[in-house]
Amino acid sequence: MTQVKKPLLFIYLLCLVFYAPRIYSQESKPNVILIYTDDLGFGDISFCGGKIPTPNIDRLFKDGLSLTNAYSTAATCTPSRYSLLTGEYAWRAKGRGVAPGNASALISAGRQTLASVFQKAGYKTAVVGKWHLGLGGKEGPDWNGEIKPGPLEIGFDHAFLIPATGDRIPTVFVKDRRVVNLDPKDPIQVSYGEKIGDWPTGKENPELLTTMYSHGHDQTITNGISRIGYMTGGTSALWRDEDISDRLVSESFLFMDKAEENPFFLYFSTHDIHVPRIAHERFQGKSDFGPRGDVIIQLDEAVGALLDYLERKDLLDQTLILFSSDNGPVWDDGYVDQAFELIADHDATGGLRGGKYSAFEGGTRVPFVVFGPGIPKGESRNHIFSQVDLLASFAGLLSVEFDPNSAVDSENHIDLLLGKSQSGRQGLVQEAIQNVLTYVSEEGFKYIPPGKGPDMVPWGPKIETGFSEKPQLYRLDQGEYENLAEKMPEKVAQLAAELDAIIFK
Ligand code: NG6
Ligand code: CA
């Protein structure tokens, strides 16, 4: 008997040696794609009640785990993205508000980030899409030379970037550290002060515009659209807005193709559905809701293209997909694209008050889904979760040591993300415009401290700020309409103290 068993044991051990790493890499080191959309609300997804069909995003919801009380850390892009990558609330230091298109890098070279956590665990890492976290040293990016520091200095192996936003110049892509397709004989010049060069502007030559601006956005015209900021030069490098989504998808394929044997982390940071909302010709007029609806369809197709890719490469069962948004929805965000006029019964916030920029929930409570192997299908959790937690959560999953003094606000909630636990945060902070900080507690209360400020976002998007000179307390299951602060002064005091404890920690 023993003579028979020994070779069997040997074969068994051999199998373990060969198969264990595969099993490990499939189960513990899944590929991770973080689809980070721009200005997308709950109600923009047809699974959540949206009127524009989003079958591919719906698939993530139907077959994944949705966190219904997940928050971006801010109601605008730059601070949300800063927190997402660093694990630190952006408001802890000045200068992390919406960044101009020539801002220098906001995250210092060498700093630990979500990407560096993946890199440490042996992943190939890439960011493809919107960056909006500044590039270059103190002087800002050298558009005609090496653009450094940037994503490659903080944990990304590869970058294909919209440097800031679609509505900020320069309207060129940056690949790793260089502007794509730049002709050195036609250097780029950029100014966020005085006009530079002689290219037409929206203000001086509105007759050249294919999309009119409504507020701001009246400076240099590229591709028929006037933007924020002035530029001249770099003609061969200018993007065509209609092609952005397709380009981001194809660049993602290139990256995933090259990752080969390594697991990969792809931060797929879409331009959609930010302004200017210029869908590819094949989507123009496809929704009944004008350009805002068309780019939702385009976004959905991009998600579908990623899913198809994974299916084709047989990677679907080895890849976790996270899907979320950097802040809540907005309608008129600076261009006349009829987003407001055509909204009809499409409720982009999904019933939340406010929207992008706001201290109300519409500013920061965003769609959040996890989809992939082992994730409960079609379930949801209502525990509170903040995007600032991704760093500690993935460090936990991958057993990577991380510096909690740098990711000071990040908590490990990987079990919640994977659907294995029934608990979340105790409380979290959100940042509205004008640095207003609000607080949500695990019991479902929202506290907005008293402060001065306008009722409506001042520059025109027709969104309530949520600011008031009185303290505000809401029960979130009842919406933010009945202010309970006077009825529940102890609760106000408790939440104000909890908020202070986080601010001054
Ligand atoms: C605002 C822009 C808005 C958008 C926003 C940033 C004006 C009047 N408005 O200043 O159009 O670009 O910044 O959006 O210029 S975010 O999603 O990147 O934070
Ligand atoms: Ca945004």
Find the range with the poorest average confidence among 10-19, 50-59, 362-371: 10-19
> Is the distance from CB of 39 to CB of 325 less than 8 angstroms?
yes
Whether cis (ω within 30° of 0) applies to the bond prior to 367 is no
Determine the pLDDT at residue 197: 97
Q: What is the mean pLDDT of residues 320-329?
A: 98
185: DSSP letter: T
Nearest to 292 by CA among 461, 68, 98: 461
Determine the pLDDT at residue 28: 67
Residue nearest to atom 7 of ligand 1 (CA): 216
Q: What is the ipTM of this complex?
A: 0.99
The percent of residues in the chain predicted with pLDDT above 90, rounded, is 93
Q: What is the mean pLDDT of residues 59-74?
A: 98
Q: What type of residue is 411?
A: E
Determine the pLDDT at residue 14: 42
Residue 389's pLDDT band (cuts 50, 70, 90): very high
- Residue entry with tokens 């601070």: 79
**C-alpha pair distances (Å), 16 with each of 19, 29, 50, 374, 433:** 5, 18, 49, 22, 55
Ligand 1 centre to CA of 11 (Å) is 62
User: How does the average pLDDT of the chain come out, rounded?
Assistant: 94
Q: Counting atoms of ligand 1 from 1, which one is nearest the CA of 333?
A: 11
Strands (DSSP E) found in 355-503: 368-371, 379-381, 385-386, 427-431, 437-441, 445-448, 472-475
User: Of the ligands numbered here, which is closest to the C-alpha atom of 78?
Assistant: 1
User: Of the ligands numbered here, which is closest to the C-alpha atom of 76?
Assistant: 1
Whether cis (ω within 30° of 0) applies to the bond prior to 489 is no
Ligand 1 centre to CA of 76 (Å) is 8
Residue nearest to atom 13 of ligand 1 (CA): 98
Taking 60 as the threshold, does the pLDDT of residue 118 lie above it?
yes
Q: Counting atoms of ligand 1 from 1, which one is nearest the CA of 78?
A: 19
Taking 80 as the threshold, does the pLDDT of residue 17 lie above it?
no
Structural tokens at position 302: 């991009």
Number of C-beta neighbours around residue 89 at 10 A: 25
User: Of the ligands numbered here, which is closest to the C-alpha atom of 101?
Assistant: 1
Pocket of ligand 1 (CB under 6 A): 38-39, 76-77, 98, 132, 165, 167, 215-217, 228, 274-275, 327, 333-334, 459
Please tell me the distance from the alpha carbon of residue 307 to that of residue 314, in angstroms, as a whole number: 10
Ligand 1 centre to CA of 216 (Å) is 9
224-263 pLDDT per residue, tens: 999 999 999 999 999 999 999 999 999 999 999 999 789 9
Ligand 2 centre to CA of 374 (Å) is 30
Ligand 2 centre to CA of 402 (Å) is 28
Taking 80 as the threshold, does the pLDDT of residue 21 lie above it?
no
> Is the distance from CB of 435 to CB of 112 less than 8 angstroms?
no
Q: What type of residue is 208?
A: L
Residue nearest to atom 16 of ligand 1 (CA): 77
148-184 pLDDT per residue, tens: 999 999 999 999 999 999 999 999 999 999 999 999 9
